[in-house]
Amino acid sequence: MVKILLENPLMLLLMVAAIGYPLGKIKVYGITLGVGAVLFVGLAFGMLHPDMKAPAIVYIMGQALFVYTVGLSAGPSFVSTFRRNGVMNNLLAGGVLCASAALCVALQKYFMLKPGIAAGIFCGSMTASPALGGALESIRQTAPEELLETLLAEPVVGFSVAYPIGVIGLMLTINICQKLWKVDYQAEYRELRKPEERAALVHCTIKVQKVVPPGATVQELNEAQECNVIFSRIKRGEEFFFAAPGTALQPGDLIMVAGLPKEIEKIAIALGERRSKDRLGLDRTEYEYRRVFVSSPQAIGRTIGELDLDKRFGEVITLVRRGDNEFLPDAEMVLEFGDVIRVLAHKTNMEEVTAFFGNSYRKVSEVDVMTFSLGLVIGLILGLMPFPFPGGGSMQLGFAGGPLIVGILLGTFGRTGKVVWSLPYSASMTLKQVGLVLFLAGIGTRSGYSLLTTLSHGGGGSIFITGVCITAITAFLGLYIGHKVLKIPMSLVVGIVAGMHTSTPGLGYIKEQTGNDLADQGYACVFPFATIGKIILVHIVLVVTGQG
């Protein structure tokens, strides 16, 4: 069997993925390794023979695919978070990450670890696969050709030992802190829960019996009741018309509305009587609702207000579903490839409206190979550009940093003229998964034998201790400063710390602990910044410890 795998690297790669992926789903005391299990299966296969390794192009390609796709999907949230508490959250993450890099350098000196191994420990204890790619790229650029293979194996050895510590240590630190500080996640959730949560949206009809003050507009009514209810269509006598923000309401009007149940109740009390929960609203013979896939380039990457739908079609969007989440739309919401929208339009216009948005299930499952490849090429070019360090020396962002930064920028823009950069949600998730599996399987098989050699010579103890210290101290600093000093609710702080560690298994564990999705906000806020920051910091660790 070993001979067959040595002669067929493609079979080796697929076998590692096929075994590792399901193993990552197995829970032990509520903890799973997730896709990280592919790395350990790759290491196990690599230990069987010095030549049991996938071609280098496998992990390079996987790394570039993964980080570029992460950048595309994280770009919009990365920018929008700075409008709220993003600056403070990212300063917290940046400060703690700098402290963890300094701790790594100090422990490297104390235990006299090889620079490459220290860089791998930093990446593994912070569960940062892109940063590992950055470390490998830095070594590839500076190492002598005759030592390249040996030096490239060192970061992976440190990473493979420290990675499970990074996953488990983060979870244990959070568990200990939440018990010591007696955190009540449910109480925090009740206090932080906002009207914008879209768990149970309702469509119904309200009959206007009174308007206070007389002649109040739709916008004035929402502002007076502190609501965000969408008013879609009004029937006044025998006339149907679109409810614009400046439309004045009159007694006797029948109004189609959409929103959260509590908000609709407030509007109904203010206006009169709630007539129906019928999702088709006032008159099925005139208007209808339809769910439509957003797949047309003329709609993707544009705000709902920019599309001017009410004047173009007399149509209104009442709901946007993105992935597993539902949102009430507003004029500033940007439509993305693969969104499912609920539109309300006159029956005579419905086919034209559907054609405008595309409504192609096949297209929302495809990737525009031209734009995807072009964006990735731009990222690779950026990765090859040298950036000078103060005081001498330079670094390249490499196959990890370049595509990630370009992905964030293009994901933020969404489109350039007629070129749409964003990916459909389903395609994005698939590419992330495939890219990460290729990277972990490729780098695991190439480093398994080096790991076996290190452990057999008794070098694993200091790596283990260093990984434990970096993971536990970094997580504790983030939790303590965020919750105790900055007074950020623990439900958000745990998400920030998971994003700082770029730990997907950690986020899953946190959501089980909190019982809500508030941690997602903190995670999305700092994840892109932390990913880029750790790629830069691992270069600095290598330079300071003598490898760069």
pLDDT at residue 78, rounded to an integer? 62
Q: Is it the case that residue 274 has pLDDT exceeding 70?
A: no
171 and 26, same structural domain?
yes
pLDDT at residue 397, rounded to an integer? 67
Smallest CA-to-CA distance from 125 within 140, 113, 137 is with 113
Of 365, 397, 418, the residue at which a domain comes to its end is 365
Q: Is it the case that residue 232 has pLDDT exceeding 60?
A: yes
pLDDT at residue 454, rounded to an integer? 67
In a domain, 265, yes or no: no
For residue 215, what are the domain limits? 200-259
376 and 356, same structural domain?
no
pLDDT tens per residue across span 503-517: 766 776 777 777 766
Average pLDDT, the chain: 79
In a domain, 542, yes or no: yes
In a domain, 336, yes or no: yes
Please count the other Cβ atoms lying within 10 Å of the Cβ belonging to residue 541.
Answer: 29
529 and 439, same structural domain?
yes
pLDDT tens per residue across span 434-485: 887 888 788 788 877 776 776 676 667 888 899 999 999 999 999 999 999 9
In a domain, 343, yes or no: yes
The CATH number assigned to the domain holding 332 equals: 3.30.70.1450
pLDDT tens per residue across span 151-172: 877 888 888 788 778 877 888 8
354 and 410, same structural domain?
no
pLDDT at residue 93, rounded to an integer? 92
In a domain, 268, yes or no: no
Q: Is it the case that residue 318 has pLDDT exceeding 80?
A: no
Q: Which residues on adjacent β-strands are paired with residue 207? A: 254, 273
Q: Any residues with CB less than 8 A from the CB of 144 and at least 6 apart, and which?
A: none
Contact (Cβ atoms closer than 8 angstroms) between residue 93 and residue 529: yes
Query: Confidence band (pLDDT; 50, 70, 90) for 195?
Result: very low
210 and 126, same structural domain?
no
pLDDT at residue 197, rounded to an integer? 44
Of 310, 332, 365, the residue at which a domain comes to its end is 365
294 and 254, same structural domain?
no
Query: Confidence band (pLDDT; 50, 70, 90) for 187?
Result: confident
382 and 345, same structural domain?
no
Contact (Cβ atoms closer than 8 angstroms) between residue 404 and residue 321: no
Q: Which residues on adjacent β-strands are paired with residue 342? A: 291, 319
In a domain, 332, yes or no: yes
Question: What 3-state DSSP class applies to 385?
Answer: coil
Q: Are strands 272-276 and 202-208 parallel, antiparallel or unpaired?
A: antiparallel
Q: Using CA atoms, how far apart are residues 497 and 503, in angstroms rounded to an integer? A: 9
Q: How many domains does the chain have?
A: 3
- Average pLDDT of span 19-48: 78
pLDDT tens per residue across span 260-269: 778 888 888 8
Q: Is it the case that residue 199 has pLDDT exceeding 50?
A: no
Of 365, 386, 420, the residue at which a domain comes to its end is 365
Query: Confidence band (pLDDT; 50, 70, 90) for 282?
Result: very low
Contact (Cβ atoms closer than 8 angstroms) between residue 182 and residue 487: no
Q: Is it the case that residue 97 has pLDDT exceeding 90?
A: yes
Q: Is the backbone of residue 26 left (phi > 0), alpha (psi -120 to 50) or beta?
A: beta
Surface-to-core class of residue 265, CB atoms within 10 Å of its CB (0-12 exposed, 13-18 middle, 19+ buried): middle
Q: Is it the case that residue 228 has pLDDT exceeding 50?
A: yes
- Average pLDDT of span 287-305: 78
541 and 400, same structural domain?
yes
In a domain, 266, yes or no: no
Surface-to-core class of residue 456, CB atoms within 10 Å of its CB (0-12 exposed, 13-18 middle, 19+ buried): exposed
Q: Using CA atoms, how far apart are residues 153 and 451, in angstroms rounded to an integer? A: 8
pLDDT tens per residue across span 9-33: 888 888 998 998 888 778 776 566 6
Contact (Cβ atoms closer than 8 angstroms) between residue 50 and residue 449: yes
147 and 81, same structural domain?
yes
- DSSP letters of 290-352? EEEEB--TTTTTSBHHHHTHHHHHS-EEEEEEETTEEE---TTPBP-TT-EEEEEEETTTHHH
Region of poorest pLDDT, from 2-6, 71-75, 103-107, 124-128: 71-75
If you search the block for the tokens 């969007």, which residue do you land on? 317
497 and 412, same structural domain?
yes
pLDDT at residue 480, rounded to an integer? 96
The CATH number assigned to the domain holding 232 equals: 3.30.70
Q: Name the DSSP letter for residue 515.
A: S
Most confident of 65-69, 284-288, 336-340, 369-373: 369-373
Q: Using CA atoms, how far apart are residues 172 and 177, in angstroms rounded to an integer? A: 9
pLDDT tens per residue across span 234-261: 888 777 777 777 888 888 888 878 777 7
In a domain, 194, yes or no: no
